[in-house]
């Protein structure tokens, strides 16, 4: 079943959503819904057009418009990716999407929301951490729309470009997107890495830190203060909040133990 949807985030057009239902393993068991989707999207931002096939919100393969071929997310899907797309049909569909986008942008710009919240960012290692052993940092970004993110990596505030790879944005069933970025690295004591996520036309950058001194995800201005100062401030704020909560806890305990007078 094909479904066309549209969200105006500057604007963004989405087409071709397929859903398949399969029965459970046992005859008496309940039906289990599995979702396979093929989503073609076009937008004014970068990338201007994209085509992704997913199963249960996980990318199987996508279409590379520059090379005109399918690219598998995992090696096991490469044979399917090579047979999944007809370049001539995709070209027609992409043209249709652009025309549809031009037709609806002006009428929906004041109706539909401009963005889907602040991106959620998590950073974790591919394998258990061992200092001095090669590993991979994974940055998972979700809860964003439109798919116009720019993801960069920094080490101690300095831009890192070597060993970095990023997947295309992949659609989810809630009409949002998620994507992954990878950084091959060799962890050492005291290292601080950050995954920085900036969205076109927005004035903020979402940053997730990985390291031994301070960790977490934060929403900061597009042009943040220097990284070393930012890390110090964030750790100081976390420490200050901890002290404040400790003081409040002591006060409450003292008040709870103080004898209370009762009137007769």
pLDDT in tens, 122-145: 999 999 988 899 999 999 999 888
Position 165 scores a pLDDT of 94
For residue 241, give the 3-state DSSP assignment. helix
Count: domains in the chain:
2
Position 162 scores a pLDDT of 94
Structure-block tokens of residue 81 = 């990716």
Quickly count: other Cβ atoms within 10 Å of residue 74's Cβ: 11
Q: Report the CATH number at residue 84.
A: 3.10.320.10
Q: Are 198 and 213 in contact (CB under 8 A)?
A: no
Last residue of a domain, which of 82, 108, 134? 108
Last residue of a domain, which of 75, 108, 141? 108
Look up the domain containing 86 and give its range. 4-108
Query: How do residues 164-206 score in pLDDT, each as one tens digit?
Result: 999 988 888 777 889 999 999 999 988 999 999 998 767 778 9
Q: Which helix (H) or strand (E) holds 136?
A: strand 135-144
Position 7 scores a pLDDT of 41
Position 9 confidence tier, pLDDT thresholds 50, 70, 90: very low
Cα 230 to chain centroid, rounded: 23
80 and 183 assigned to the same domain: no
Tell me the DSSP string of 12-67.
EEEE----EEE--SSTTSPPEEE-EEEEEEE-SSSSSEEEEEEETTEEEEEEETTT
214 and 150 assigned to the same domain: yes
Q: Are 185 and 154 in contact (CB under 8 A)?
A: no
58 and 144 assigned to the same domain: no
177 and 78 assigned to the same domain: no
- The whole-angstrom separation of Cα 164 and Cα 184 is 7
Last residue of a domain, which of 58, 75, 108? 108
Q: Report the CATH number at residue 172.
A: 2.60.40.10
Query: How do residues 219-251 score in pLDDT, each as one tens digit?
Result: 444 444 444 545 554 455 455 555 455 455 554
25 and 92 assigned to the same domain: yes
155 and 89 assigned to the same domain: no
142 and 84 assigned to the same domain: no
Q: Is the pTM of this model over 0.85?
A: no
Tell me the DSSP string of 188-200.
-TT-EEEEEEEET
Structure-block tokens of residue 39 = 């989503």
Contacts of 110 (CB under 8 A, 6+ apart): none
87 and 127 assigned to the same domain: no
166 and 99 assigned to the same domain: no
């Amino acid at each position: 079943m094909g479904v066309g949807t549209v969200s105006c985030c500057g604007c963004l057009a989405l087409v071709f959503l397929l859903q398949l239902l399969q029965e459970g393993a046992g005859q008496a068991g309940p039906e289990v819904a599995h979702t396979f989707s093929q989503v073609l999207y076009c937008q004014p931002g970068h990338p201007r057009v994209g085509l992704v096939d997913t199963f249960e919100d996980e990318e199987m393969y996508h279409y590379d418009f520059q090379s005109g071929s399918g690219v598998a997310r995992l090696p096991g899907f490469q044979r399917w990716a090579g047979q999944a797309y007809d370049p001539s049909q995709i070209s027609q569909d992409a043209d249709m999407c652009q025309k549809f986008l031009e037709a609806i942008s002006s009428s929906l710009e004041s109706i539909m929301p401009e963005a889907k919240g602040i991106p959620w960012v998590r950073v974790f290692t591919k394998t258990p951490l061992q200092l001095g052993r090669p590993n991979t940092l994974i940055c998972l970004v979700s809860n964003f729309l439109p798919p116009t993110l720019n993801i960069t990596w920094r080490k101690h505030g300095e831009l890192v470009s070597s060993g970095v790879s990023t997947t295309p944005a992949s659609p989810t069933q809630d009409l949002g997107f998620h994507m992954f970025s990878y950084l091959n690295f060799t962890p050492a004591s005291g290292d601080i890495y950050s995954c920085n996520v900036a969205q076109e036309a927005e004035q903020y950058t979402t940053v997730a830190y990985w390291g031994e001194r301070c960790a977490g995800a934060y929403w900061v201005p597009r042009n943040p203060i220097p990284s070393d100062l930012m890390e110090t401030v964030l750790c100081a704020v976390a420490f200050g909040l901890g002290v404040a909560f400790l003081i409040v806890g002591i006060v409450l305990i003292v008040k709870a133990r103080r004898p209370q007078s009762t009137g007769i």
